[in-house]
Structure 1
Amino acid sequence: MGLPEERSRSGSGSGAREEAGARSPTRSWSPPPEVSRSAHVPSLQRYRELHRRSLEEPREFWGDIAKEFYWKTPCPGPFLQYNFDVTKGKIFIEWMKGATTNICYNVLDRIVHEKKLGDKVAFYWEGNEPEETTQITYRELLVQVCRFSNVLRKQGICKGDRVAIYMPMIPELVVAMLACARLGALHSIVFAGFSSESLCERILDSNCSLLITTDAFYRGEKLVNLKELADEALEKCQEKGFPVKCCIVVKHLGRAELVTGDSPSQSPPIKRPCPDVQGKPKEKPKHIRPQISWNEGVDLWWHELMQKAGDECEPEWCDAEDPLFILYTTQLEALFSPQGVLHTVGGYMLYVATTFKYVFDFHAEDVFWCTADIGWITGHSYVTYGPLANGATSVLFEGIPTYPDVSRLWNIVEKYKVTKFYTAPTAIRLLMKFGDEPVTKHSRASLQVLGTVGEPINPEAWLWYHRVVGAQRCPIVDTFWQTETGGHMLTPLPGAIPMKPGSATFPFFGVAPAILNESGEELEGEAEGYLVFKQPWPGIMRTVYGNHERFETTYFKKFPGYYVTGDGCRRDKDGYYWITGRIDDMLNVSGHLLSTAEVESALVEHKAVAEAAVVGHPHPVKGECLYCFVTLCDGHIFSPALTEELKKQIREKIGPIATPDYIQNAPGLPKTRSGKIMRRVLRKIAQNDHDLGDTSTVVDPSIITQLFSHRCLTIQ
């Protein structure tokens, strides 16, 4: 699937740049015929037929899909009931209320016993070090989940309880979350890169009665003493009057000493892991195992508990509208305390299973790899629940893209013959800086579909991803969705929908988008404004845990009758949707509304720019002007001449109104552990305001100091 009229040209060529930078690209990339021939949805016409039915007959459409799953009791009443209008009463969404099921049963027992796929690999685990590997089949995973479910039951965990999980990307993390689901307990997973204070806040907010964590782990060359952080969090909880009675600890870095035979006492990974674990540990000076503290009466070893647990555990049958998990989003971190998004059993199961199947065009022989951490919604939906519900084989990756070298991802793709690959634009832009060679030295012949998630992908990165990683033959599914939506909302289907670089294209089944103006009026045809959704889909969140009023205010109050995403969006003449960024990332310059994402895209199209972020800055005349942070590619030097080139490029791509007043050299950008740029912090830096608020989620705090020292003092 080559570039139109330029099949042999590099994506960095001028023609590609012109196409990438166009505000409304006229060209699109059609799905390759070989993908369409075998696709679940093989044509644009078929997509439109299915989408129309999903909106006009939602009960029948999702009811047919529900038949593929196991229900202990069927839905006794209305399949769907809801209210999106705050002026008409309480906001609520109910799918299949009264039907009973268990999501763990559906992603494991059903796959092993009904689908007869017990011996199929569920996960290839790839550790931080390339030689650290193992695999686990569906049958082995089911046994481990049943054992740990029995462990939790013995600790008093039952339906409705909340369990906090604070772990790196190891198989025990999947086991723990599925064991909670099997018992009807809610898991609240906290990303292992978060601070002890963040963990404490989340434990307190959801009233977790038990914590599951790990001794320590390496992230690249960095040692993270997770048990120490967990201890600090539990101490803070104690000080605030909420003692957590039990902490179960996986011996991860110390698992080598547990390998004494085939006894079930050893900590998973279930099969023998890497050579370092199979024999004598090969300690490297930089990979030291830390001494961990032990709190008698609170701390318990995972492997000791598992040794005593039985292999069978009857699942707890749950109502389709019973809560499944709580996941905290930082979307409103500048305004509120952490927001616990609550998802429920039945609707979430239907939606993530269906989006996984159709968006990635999943087939039985696929090897799927989503690089996201399970600590985020992408990992919940497309590392754990979505793939397992389809009986897929996935890669579970503990490491980072640049360790031990920048070809790590492509080495893994070649090693496991990955067919469907899903990652973030941040990772793509990071790896672009190192050129094509780290990618092309590894075979990517197995790849069939590429995907992006987390933020809008700028066209330049899209073109590089398509040309270099996908060898101009793999469709790219640029997915838009949120923690709150549970699964994909706007996305191409790889065999059906022509792609435009940077566009999330069209809505998924059951999704009815609209674009509103400030007055709440729906805009038709080509338009730009607020992105909203007009009716519920099964995966929508049901509430903010413990604060339904906040749920209603945040998502439904501004425009009654609609779910408000908080994102800006435009629709082009072909009906394609383009996410322009968070509404609070829209800038009003001299009365003109500008999208920061659009300006950032224009900046990174320049060959010298690896990454860019744009924020608003007060201006005495314009009201607001553009302050740009740019990170340069290796080999390029920041200079007044480059500044003028970048301004010229923005004027040409967007118009004179978008010419920035400030362009600052940025050695790096402050990002959260999930790769999101913290524009809140950048706004403070631009205004020389050192009152930054909570920066505990910043990966590298030293970048903030550097950015303050490089501030632009005068208009350029």
Structure 2
Amino acid sequence: MTDGMSFRGGVRDTENALVDPPAAFVEQANVTARGVDREWPECWARAADYLDWMTPYERVLDATDGYDWFAGGELNASYNCIDRHVEAGRKSQTALRWEGRLGETRTYTYHDLSREVNALAAALRDRGVEADDVVTLYMPMVPELPIAMLACARIGAVHSVVFAGYSADALATRLADTGSAVLFACDGYYRRGTAYDLKRKADNACLDVPQSVDRIVVDRLDDDRPHGDNYTDYAAFVADYWGETVAPVARAANDPLFEIQTSGTTGEPTLIRHTTGGYLAQVAWTTHAVLDLEPGDTYWCTADIGWITGHSYTVYGPLALGATTVLYEGTSDYPERDHLWEVIERNGVEVFYTAPTVIRAFAKWGSDHVDRHDLSSLRLLGTVGEPTDEATWEWYYEHVGRESCAVVDTWWQTETGGVLLSTLPGVDGMRPEAVGPPLPGVSVDIVDARGNSVDTGDSGSLVLTRPFPGMGVDVGESTGNAPEAWRYRTGDAATVDADGYVHLLGREDDALDLDGRRLWTHEIEAAIVGVEGVAEAAVVGVDAGGVTPYAYVSLQRGTGPASAIRERVRDAVARDVGAFATPATVVFTPDLPKTRSGKVMRRHLRQIATGEGVSDTSVLRNPEIVGELESVTDVSE
């Protein structure tokens, strides 16, 4: 078992040496010691210290009936993200900086944000929305989305954000599951300069739910279309409330803040409910300790707010700390492939948090897109969403961070609410291809199929072995009466090395049974990505009288003939993993099907490989690649 409270990094090994964080970063880091002098669960009190409480909590954890974090305490998330910064004299500081797909920009100070949130909160209150009512938000990355989230939190309503790329059926399912009677939607959104109708999908969804839904529409397309009798225009909805102040409603620490469904990219979507006190405390502390944010820092997380990463580390974490958070409506390569770096340069971004797949894409296109921009404002780089292979880590560290930035590879899930595994950048050495040790207060185990702990270096299932504040309601299960008997099987496979660093291997569902051995797709993918000229790879198993690995490979710009690369790919897998794991099929593709958050959709690749076909591409940011891959006829050459 690995317990983050007792581990201290810094020991080097000969195979995969730790990389020391830059000395200049360590000198200014928010956390320079782990604080191991407090016992679990009391150690989590430090997270609660980053919040202002209306009523002080009585106990860090009350496990009498379930897990009640910060029992007896009351607070308001909107107050913690806005009011206290205004009251501290930072009302003129920038809170949100938005860049639209068509080049538009909007800037909101904390005073502006307060004005917008209060007006919308007043309008919702007078429309009859009360504490614990669920409000659904179906919008792209526009400022009105975080404003609506914070307005709901202000009056104690529970928000449910639905990713704008989802279909009408997916929206209808989420409306029905939550019983939501209020829906905010945009009239549409832009994708690579093309306008897409969002309101029509919202209309169709509302026809398929049993409850009546009150609808408010935000103009994004500016095309002067009438919204119809079923909608209230957003501008008209708040017009009579400018200048009003709504007192933030006191919420018990275990009262719900929001509901969110898992993406469904690895199985059926699951509805997760996060509480106000525990969730907000954990994301505030991890934003401070792992992402190294302080009031006034400028920060950019590229995740869509429709996903949990956007909730935690675009909205609640940065704003709870009084930072400036950048919202970007566009994609990383539009209108030009260097636009992402242009955004960092223009806004003076200091901390950048993105997915490994985004980094691999830029590595594939070449470093000149990065090199032409001044990225000297950056001090910390982060990754989230998938395991980071060594080649990707090194490219990120060298070409984006210029070897002067700390790098944190983070692991967490929708179910956990916030980061649980990561190095503390001012304390721990960085190890390429390892996510890092558990954070203080987090305990994990790697177990076999029977639930027994495996030896150091052996693969198994990643299990969380102690409750933590940010976990969703009813996540995990108890095998006894004591909190220490709680367990949560994450569904991810991993190993842990002698220094306590966890190495992720991918989802357990993606495991392959080859030649009597259970193998994780990440092991094969890591070998492929190590081949010179390969930018990224995804491996799936196809049952053809026995499981056969199929490899989908994307090459870097200017790479030689595919036939030569194909043989090098097979040789690398045979050498690094074993001949039994050599892909029978290697498909070269300009890109891999990915969600907007950067997760590779291996389920779609498996459907393509088997000829089953992909019926729903609404979750993808690049659905056109599915058609290209399905058109490949001779996939072995």
Using the size of structure 2 for normalisation, the TM-score is: 0.93
Letter in 1 for 2:119: R
Deviations 1:75-115 (A, max 9, x none): 34x431349xxxxxx8x3210233211111111111211x2
- Residues 1:703 and 2:622 are matched in the alignment: no
- Residues 1:229 and 2:201 are matched in the alignment: yes
Whole-angstrom distance in 2 between the partners of 1:354 and 1:122: 18
Whole-angstrom distance in 2 between the partners of 1:522 and 1:97: 33
Three-state SS of the structure 2 residue aligned to 1:707 is helix
Letter in 2 for 1:249: V
1:262-301 paired onto structure 2 within 5 Å = 289=223, 292-296=225-229, 298-301=230-233
Whole-angstrom distance in 2 between the partners of 1:632 and 1:293: 47
CA contact (8 A) 1:327 1:340 kept: yes
Equivalent residue, structure 2, for 1:109: 83
Three-state SS of the structure 1 residue aligned to 2:432 is coil
CA contact (8 A) 1:486 1:541 kept: yes
Equivalent residue, structure 1, for 2:60: 79
Equivalent residue, structure 2, for 1:455: 386
CA contact (8 A) 1:332 1:339 kept: no
Equivalent residue, structure 1, for 2:611: 688
Whole-angstrom distance in 2 between the partners of 1:400 and 1:190: 19
Equivalent residue, structure 1, for 2:591: 668
One of 136, 159, 164 as aligned partner of 1:187: 159
Whole-angstrom distance in 2 between the partners of 1:511 and 1:644: 43
CA contact (8 A) 2:40 2:441 kept: no
Letter in 2 for 1:643: R
Deviations 1:187-220 (A, max 9, x none): 0001111111111111111111101111222122
Shift of 1:502: 1.6
Shift of 1:624: 2.0
Equivalent residue, structure 2, for 1:635: 558
Shift of 1:656: 2.4
Shift of 1:24: 8.7
Shift of 1:28: 1.8
Whole-angstrom distance in 2 between the partners of 1:641 and 1:64: 55
One of 100, 103, 117 as aligned partner of 1:127: 100
CA contact (8 A) 1:24 1:572 kept: no
Letter in 1 for 2:85: I
One of 246, 263, 281 as aligned partner of 1:313: 246
1:75-474 paired onto structure 2 within 5 Å = 75-76=57-58, 78-82=59-63, 92-113=66-87, 115-130=88-103, 132-237=104-209, 241-244=210-213, 246-254=214-222, 289=223, 292-296=225-229, 298-309=230-241, 310-331=243-264, 334=267, 336=268, 338-474=269-405
Equivalent residue, structure 2, for 1:278: none
Whole-angstrom distance in 2 between the partners of 1:694 and 1:464: 33
Letter in 2 for 1:28: L
- Residues 1:593 and 2:548 are matched in the alignment: no
| 1:24 to 1:457, Cα distance in 2 relative to 1, 3 A | farther
| 1:434 to 1:667, Cα distance in 2 relative to 1, 3 A | closer
CA contact (8 A) 1:144 1:311 kept: no
Shift of 1:331: 4.1
| 1:68 to 1:681, Cα distance in 2 relative to 1, 3 A | closer
Equivalent residue, structure 1, for 2:580: 657
Deviations 1:262-289 (A, max 9, x none): xxxxxxxxxxxxxxxxxxxxxxxxxxx3
Shift of 1:127: 1.4
Shift of 1:329: 0.8
Over the matched positions of the two proteins, sequence identity in percent amounts to: 40
Shift of 1:454: 0.9
Equivalent residue, structure 1, for 2:540: 615
Whole-angstrom distance in 1 between the partners of 2:14 and 2:450: 25
CA contact (8 A) 1:105 1:315 kept: yes
Whole-angstrom distance in 2 between the partners of 1:497 and 1:161: 43
Deviations 1:282-315 (A, max 9, x none): xxxxxxx3x645231x311111122201420011
- Residues 1:605 and 2:530 are matched in the alignment: yes
Q: Unpaired segments of 5 or more residues in structure 1?
A: 1-22, 84-89, 255-288, 545-550, 554-558
One of 20, 30, 39 as aligned partner of 2:29: 39
Shift of 1:116: 2.1
Shift of 1:72: 2.0
Shift of 1:417: 1.0
Deviations 1:18-73 (A, max 9, x none): xxxxx99422210111111121222xxx23xx2x445x2322x2234424422222
- Residues 1:574 and 2:499 are matched in the alignment: yes
Whole-angstrom distance in 1 between the partners of 2:50 and 2:584: 57
Whole-angstrom distance in 2 between the partners of 1:82 and 1:710: 56
CA contact (8 A) 1:107 1:385 kept: yes
Whole-angstrom distance in 1 between the partners of 2:169 and 2:308: 21
Using the size of structure 1 for normalisation, the TM-score is: 0.83
Deviations 1:385-434 (A, max 9, x none): 00011111121111111111011111111111111111111111112222
Whole-angstrom distance in 2 between the partners of 1:224 and 1:552: 43
Whole-angstrom distance in 2 between the partners of 1:361 and 1:670: 32
Whole-angstrom distance in 2 between the partners of 1:95 and 1:146: 28
Letter in 2 for 1:33: A
Whole-angstrom distance in 1 between the partners of 2:633 and 2:430: 39
Whole-angstrom distance in 2 between the partners of 1:333 and 1:196: 20
- Residues 1:583 and 2:512 are matched in the alignment: no
Shift of 1:560: 7.3
Three-state SS of the structure 1 residue aligned to 2:459 is strand
Shift of 1:713: 6.3
Shift of 1:380: 0.4
Three-state SS of the structure 1 residue aligned to 2:327 is strand
CA contact (8 A) 2:54 2:73 kept: yes
CA contact (8 A) 2:69 2:277 kept: yes
CA contact (8 A) 1:599 1:650 kept: yes
Letter in 2 for 1:294: H
Whole-angstrom distance in 2 between the partners of 1:612 and 1:713: 15
- Residues 1:30 and 2:20 are matched in the alignment: yes
Deviations 1:441-470 (A, max 9, x none): 110111100011111112111111111111
Deviations 1:569-605 (A, max 9, x none): 0112222110100011111111222111121122122
Equivalent residue, structure 2, for 1:265: none
CA contact (8 A) 2:303 2:596 kept: no
Equivalent residue, structure 2, for 1:261: none
CA contact (8 A) 2:139 2:163 kept: yes
Three-state SS of the structure 1 residue aligned to 2:498 is coil
Letter in 2 for 1:435: G
CA contact (8 A) 2:538 2:553 kept: yes
Whole-angstrom distance in 2 between the partners of 1:326 and 1:231: 22
Letter in 1 for 2:41: P
Whole-angstrom distance in 1 between the partners of 2:624 and 2:317: 37
CA contact (8 A) 2:77 2:280 kept: yes
CA contact (8 A) 2:60 2:71 kept: yes
| 1:635 to 1:38, Cα distance in 2 relative to 1, 3 A | closer
| 1:405 to 1:464, Cα distance in 2 relative to 1, 3 A | same
Whole-angstrom distance in 1 between the partners of 2:625 and 2:41: 48
Letter in 1 for 2:569: L
CA contact (8 A) 1:663 1:712 kept: no
| 1:207 to 1:552, Cα distance in 2 relative to 1, 3 A | farther
Letter in 2 for 1:632: L
One of 22, 44, 52 as aligned partner of 1:70: 52
Letter in 2 for 1:706: E
After the TM superposition, list the runs of 4 or more consecutive aligned residues in structure 1 that deviate by more than 6 angstroms. Answer: none
Shift of 1:477: 0.6
Whole-angstrom distance in 2 between the partners of 1:193 and 1:448: 32
